[in-house]
Amino acid sequence: MTTAVTTPRAAADREAGTLAVCLAGNPNVGKSSLFNCLTGAACDTAHCAGVTTTASSVCTRWRRHAVEVIDLPGTYALEGHAGDQRVGRAALLEARPDVVVAVVDATNLARNLYLVLQLLDLGYRVVVALNLVDEARRRNIDIDAAVLARDLGVPVVRTVASKGEGVEGVMRTVLAVVEAGDGAGRGRRRRYGPLVEERIDELEGQLEERVASRELPFGLSSRAAALAVLEGDPETTAALSELGELHIDPGDEALPLLIARQRHDVARRLAEACTASADVAPDTWWRITTTPRTGLPILGGVVAGVFTVLFVVGGFLSGILTNAWEATVSPLLTDLVTAIFGGGALGRTVLWGVDGGVIATLAIGIPYILTFYVLLALLEDSGYLNAAAFLTDRVMHRFGLHGRAVIPLIAALGCNVPAIIGTRTLNSMRERLIASTLITLTPCSARTAIIIGAVALYAGWQWAILVYAVLIAVGVLAGLGLNRLLPGEKQGLVMEMFPFRRPVLRQVGVKTWRRFRDFIWDAAPIIVIGSMVLGTLYETGWIWELTEPLSPVVETWLMLPAVAGLTLVFGVLRKELALQLLLTFAVVAYGSSVQDISSFMDTSQIVTFALVTSLYVPCVATIAVLGRELGWRRTAYVSLGTVAIALLIGGAAAHLLQALGY
């Protein structure tokens, strides 16, 4: 039986008899894919670095054994102070696993074996999962797993985690290592030269004098603890200092680099010994997609493709689903609600939620969000996101972002909700906050419909182009301003060249469904509740009471009719309904003589209305996802900030256009 994904437990908190198995590996080696296969859990996987940023844990059963499987963040080493190395090292030391499954990339073995050697140096029992062997075959890389196992002194299992191949072998091998006793899986002892070994022996002697019969911290051997101290491991050094001060030689400062160089040399020789042939020429597609001359047109094509699919396919599916609901379910639901609650204000209010709210979810959730998730999964698993990030990194740095932010920003043109979720690929909360703010200022397809359906149709295309120009200018200025004002370090983008891979459709489907399910679970209730709140205001007539308090802002500052202010309030639910609601309110207020918005609004008012609608926080679904991704305090800042920007720009535009006679 498998339980939910949780935070790993310390060894002292683990139930007696439960085996602890840690999965460690470099970024983008398929570690999380193997974790999902071993546990049946659902963690994010992608063919780009940085997807797993925290340690995750799942309790399950392998045969008769209770097992806690721990997925560590992808990291190249454990001795550094970077976030992934610090989190991975701390989780590993606290968990004190029975076995560590070291997942290595068969296409880049020398680099991956460094971490394997480090795990063995720390005294852990290790099973190597030689992953991506299908990619290695495709690139004519032939690795003899038996030779690698012999030279390392630990079991090696060939796997293709994305397809589930070799997973059963990993389980059997881990259990065999556990049942074989403490000596299994420890590997061959590596020596790192006279200078290093002399200092290790000295520290081992000091430790043995201090601890006597006591156990060293984290269950480390005296050699492993001494080596960790020499490499500058802060957790181990701090824990050992409680046993007494260790004598540290001033010359030890040079030892971490010396140890790292010798370990890299060992890893290279091990890889060469078991690799029969290797065609490691640079990936042609990577070169084509990251060279500006060819990469920029390709990026433009990908962007156009994403936008076209989101806009065309999303709009097509939205129309089909909403029409099908309104033709089949909506009448039955209306009859049912009317029979239970009556046909008065209460019944109509309930219908706003259970009927209108579901229609809003169908109009946004399935067409745009599900479509985007499919596209995002394909881009992730193919590796193209890495190329796009590399290509646009220099430009994005001006906004305090990395090149990885370009895809969510482009996707925002279709729908802001999945674009905000796409910011998970960014490294820090600072970057995600900047990107999410810019996304909310990006006109999605619903706001584009307002610009085209109102401004272009009734004021002219030149005014629609002007609106877009203002929106672009506001986005650029907001990005530059946030980059200067927000605290936090601006991190550089250090990228490894990951070769392109063929997406695995099963993995794409599973990932898409999981993300879409999470969105529906979080956003749908908020949409329904928000619909009922607005329905209550409308059906009771209280909405008209808002005209007076809104008058100073709407009529005086924005110079819009009162009904436009009411539409802005309702527009938080669904921006694509804004024009329909505006006409509905206008008919109630001005009578049946109203045929279209040009009947009661002039050019300057139409442009102002479009600007304000396009700038303030898109919809309740966006607010819901912002709350989930950034936290509600930051969401409040973003939402109120966009409202302030919308009112400022809208008012300035209104007064300027009125002064110019429009």
Token pair 């490294």: residue: 427
Region class of 40: left (phi > 0), else alpha (psi between -120 and 50), else beta: left
Which tokens hold the place of 20?
């602890």
Phi, psi of 90 (to 5 degrees): -65, -45
pLDDT digits (tens, 9 = 90+) for 425-478: 676 888 889 999 999 998 887 787 788 778 888 888 889 889 989 999 999 999
Q: What H or E segment, with its residue span, contains residue 536?
A: helix 505-539
pLDDT digits (tens, 9 = 90+) for 487-506: 876 555 545 556 677 776 77
Tell me the domain boundaries of the chain. Answer: 11-180, 194-277, 294-491+505-659
Q: What is the pLDDT of residue 521?
A: 72
Better-scored residue on pLDDT, 6 or 114: 114
Cα separation, 640 vs 616, in Å, equals 8
Token pair 């419909």: residue: 449
Q: What is the pLDDT of residue 492?
A: 53
Q: What is the pLDDT of residue 605?
A: 92
Q: What is the pLDDT of residue 44?
A: 47
CA 100, distance to chain mean position in Å, is 26
Cα separation, 325 vs 538, in Å, equals 23
Token pair 């160089």: residue: 261
**Is 56:132 a contact under the CB 8 Å cutoff?**
no
What share of the chain has pLDDT > 70, as a percent? Answer: 84
Q: Provide the 3-class DSSP secondary structure of residue 198.
A: helix
Helices (H) and strands (E) in the chain, counts: 30, 8
pLDDT digits (tens, 9 = 90+) for 63-79: 888 888 888 887 888 76
Q: What is the pLDDT of residue 624?
A: 85
pLDDT digits (tens, 9 = 90+) for 103-152: 999 988 988 999 999 999 988 999 999 998 888 888 888 899 999 999 99
pLDDT classification of 100: cutoffs 50, 70, 90: very high
Q: Is the pTM of this model over 0.75?
A: no
Q: What is the pLDDT of residue 54?
A: 60
Cα separation, 183 vs 95, in Å, equals 19
Fold classification of 11-180 is Rossmann fold (3.40.50)
Domain 194-277 sits in CATH 3.40.50.300: no
Mean pLDDT, the chain, whole residue set = 80
CB atoms within 10 A of CB 310: 26
pLDDT digits (tens, 9 = 90+) for 275-314: 886 555 556 777 787 788 888 888 888 877 876 776 677 7
Cα separation, 552 vs 247, in Å, equals 74
pLDDT classification of 163: cutoffs 50, 70, 90: confident
Across residues 495-522, what is the average pLDDT?
Answer: 69
Q: What is the pLDDT of residue 281?
A: 52
Residue 128 β-bridge partners = 102, 156
**Is 400:485 a contact under the CB 8 Å cutoff?**
no
Token pair 């009317």: residue: 338
Q: What is the pLDDT of residue 421?
A: 79
Residue 507's identity, in one-letter code, is: Q
**Is 623:635 a contact under the CB 8 Å cutoff?**
yes
Across residues 540-568, what is the average pLDDT?
Answer: 87
pLDDT at 545 over 90: no
Q: What is the pLDDT of residue 530?
A: 67
